[in-house]
Amino acid sequence: MNKSTQYNDTATGTWRRYLALMLAASVALSSSMMTSAQVPRPTAAAPVAITPRAPEIAASSYILIDAATGHIIMEQNSDEALPPASLTKIMTAYVAEYEIDNGNLTLDDQVFISERAWRTQGSKTFVDVNSYVRVEDLMRGIIIQSGNDASVAMAEHIAGSEEAFADLMNQHARRLGMNSSYFVNSSGLDDTGETNLMSARDLATLARVKILEHPVHYRMYAEREFTFNGIRQSNRNTLLFRDNTVDGMKTGWTTPAGFCLVASAQRDGMRLISVVMGTASEEARAVETQKLLSYGFRFFETHKLYDAGQSLESLRVWSAKENNVAVGVENEVWLTIPRGRAGDLVATLNTEETLRGAIEQGQVLGTVNITLGDEVLYSGNVVALQGVERGGLLKRLLDALTLFFMGLFS
């Protein structure tokens, strides 16, 4: 059987001690009924947190997520596979970053510029044919200048040909769970009859992986300009020049794709990632992105609920050397919630009604569910935070008798 204890999330130790006492009392009184103890709400009046409806976004598809939690704040048509234009290069750069971080490539490696790479049309880094260019320079050419020539040269250097590199991109996409993405080239050009496809959700997923798993490489996305071969070019992400909290990521445009932008910004410790696809102009993609970011930062917050190894409860253990075992979460728990609603979070702890005998540290003893209203924001295991040895013969006998009589009189 299970027992369930509910309580409001709070930072005060007094409320947690009150909760522990209520949980202990419920264990002693019942072995068959579900129990519930709710911490009383403070009587003092508090400001009412109000969240307006999301703004209208003029884009074919869009999404806004919290980078720390992956929580989707708002979205529309986010799973639709669309031409991504130069947003493709986020994956091209990711593959190179992956190779660097796994020791297969270095920033100082020299890349040969083939005639095919040199002749690639569209935006350019202006690399010279039959020359050698450092990987680091090509990375800046891809990310800052959106160079198609740099993208093809990088693809050929890593995989031998752009076609083989596209296969590598597709394998990484599947590994990352980017289920709506398909790549045929490294640049995003769609004038050859076959085009790349990506969804807004997949782009947000990729951006989050780059930020969290490759933070050193991500810094390059904040650079406002890059000069190569005597030619200075500005970063096409105009938000870098308008909003000092924006530090990435990438723009894209072709006629089929429209104007696209993946952006990320950090304010007061909260990082958001936005994607807009198919907007009407360069200015529109910046304006619509600003709408997303402003809404997310103004009305939502990233809330740290638990520390790693934080004790949630102390549970009674029968037939064990110790009478209690502390249970908690193994890893930090972060949530994305409407701003000002932390006091409305409710945690429900579900554990086995009767714990007996030895318990190993890290052993799963139940689950904790975090809800806000009717929405479940988190569900995860709770584990024993320390080991408990099995009790001696006399202890086991006394506990067995106690449980027997508790059953008779419950």
Confirm whether 86 is a catalytic residue. Answer: yes
What are the distances in angstroms from CA 6 to CA 10, 29, 110, 147, 341?
A: 12, 17, 60, 55, 17
Pair of tokens at residue 10: 């709070």
Q: Where are the alpha helices (DSSP H) in 30-114?
A: 88-101
Confirm whether 146 is a catalytic residue. Answer: yes
Confirm whether 187 is a catalytic residue. Answer: no
Q: Are 371 and 377 in contact (CB under 8 A)?
A: yes
Q: How many CA atoms lie within 13 A of 385 on its CB side?
A: 17
Other C-beta atoms lying within 10 Å of the C-beta of residue 5: 23
What are the distances in angstroms from CA 296 to CA 55, 71, 105, 205, 368?
A: 10, 11, 37, 17, 27
Return all residues near 403 (Cβ < 8 A) that are at least 6 apart. Answer: 31, 318, 354
Q: Are 211 and 67 in contact (CB under 8 A)?
A: yes
Which residues is 111 bridged to in the sheet?
133
- Residue among 3, 26, 89, 181 flagged as catalytic: 89
Other C-beta atoms lying within 10 Å of the C-beta of residue 222: 17
Compute, in degrees rounded to 10, the torsion defined by CA atoms 6, 9, 14, 18: 0
Residue with tokens 């304010």: 267
Pair of tokens at residue 15: 């409320």
- Residue among 86, 151, 186, 199 flagged as catalytic: 86
Other C-beta atoms lying within 10 Å of the C-beta of residue 215: 9
Distance CA 104, CA 96 (A): 9
**Burial per residue of 327-360, b for 16 or more beta-carbon CB atoms within 10 angstroms, e otherwise:** bbbbeebbbbbbeebbeebbbbbbbebbbbeebe
- Residue among 114, 146, 181, 274 flagged as catalytic: 146
First to last CA, the chain: 15
Tell me the three-class secondary structure of 235-249, residue by residue.
CCCCHHHHCCCEEEE
- Residue positions annotated with a catalytic role: 86, 89, 146
